[in-house]
Amino acid sequence: MQPQSFVKIFSGTNTMYLAEKISASFGQNLGLVHKIDFSDGEYTVKFDETLRGSHVFLIQSTFPPADNLFELLMMIDAAKRASAASIVAVLPYFGYARQDRKDQPRVAIGAKLVADLLTAAGVDRVITMDLHADQIQGFFNIPVDHLYSSTIFVPYIESLGLTDIVMASPDAGGSKRAHQYSKHFDAPLVICNKHRPRPNVVGEMQVIGDVKGKNVILLDDMIDTAGTLTAAADKMMEEGALSVRAFASHGVLSGKAYENIENSQITEVVITDSIPLRRESPKIKVLSVADMFAETIACVYNNETIARHFVFRK
């Protein structure tokens, strides 16, 4: 991919591992920016090259701590004050996306707050991947390019050469995603029905559909503690599945996630590098989204369509 003279790509501190791969795929080096820490814990950011008239792409996943989000906001503000022609926030993982509605009294809608903060800081466009809820795009009054990990996962699933496959969702909320995969692969769809007494705790689990003698592909947008995922996989194996492989865009992997995965009957968990792994695991495979984001950055800069990057089209 040919470098663009007016494109400058920068990274926040904790997404440097992915930003370096994206910029290399795009065909140029990352821009120079550094974080300045003060003794009291306060910090600021400074770009070490001119941005005047440039189209600036700022790469930062906003996983915890909140410093990742705030660093991105400060980078946006600094770029705006440095007279950048346009500022695009590239969020491989959009944090706080699970807070997309008021599902109980007196709670915040964190996803809308993040959208407002990014807009107020001065961003012109957002590029992200596999939002927890599609309607989060509507929280913005600026363009949002919403990419899908199916671009990465579908070729990998095809490369496995599995027969008798079944597409499955670990809960009813992910049935739309699993249904798209089932149509693409012309495979049956299975859904797990779960009762969650409180966040990150899974109670009763039921499998709706036939998995006996099947190789199950379990699909989700993120894996947090992996409680739901592993409970679903173990239940399917109990009901006669040959194997269960889990695919999720974002490997949050908090709490006992690694232990839950390694102690389960899951054959393999496949995630992207939108969030860095805390440690490696023999059951976890990471596929990179660097090329997909690099191609999207090029398309945005050149005013080209990004539709060709979607495996599933309506």
Number of CB atoms found within 10 A of residue 303's CB: 6
**pTM, rounded to two decimals:** 0.92
User: Could you give the CA distance from residue 263 to residue 282 in angstroms, rounded to a whole number?
Assistant: 11
What is the percentage of the chain residues whose pLDDT exceeds 90? Answer: 82
State the pLDDT at residue 202.
55
User: Could you give the CA distance from residue 145 to residue 134 in angstroms, rounded to a whole number?
Assistant: 11
Number of CB atoms found within 10 A of residue 279's CB: 7
At 225, is the secondary structure helix, strand, or coil?
A: coil
Tokens 């992200």 — which residue? 128
Q: Determine phi and psi for 73, rounding to 5 degrees.
A: -60, -40
- Under-70 pLDDT residues of the chain: 1-5, 194-203, 311-314
Active site residues: 194
Q: Output the CA torsion 117→275→63→143 (10° steps).
A: 20
pLDDT digits (tens, 9 = 90+) for 22-76: 999 999 999 999 999 999 999 999 999 999 999 999 999 999 999 999 999 999 9
The helix or strand, by DSSP H or E, that contains position 228, with its residue range, turns out to be helix 227-238
Task: From residue 80, give the alpha-carbon distance in Å to each of 54, 75, 112, 121.
Answer: 11, 9, 22, 8
pLDDT digits (tens, 9 = 90+) for 205-220: 788 889 999 999 999 9
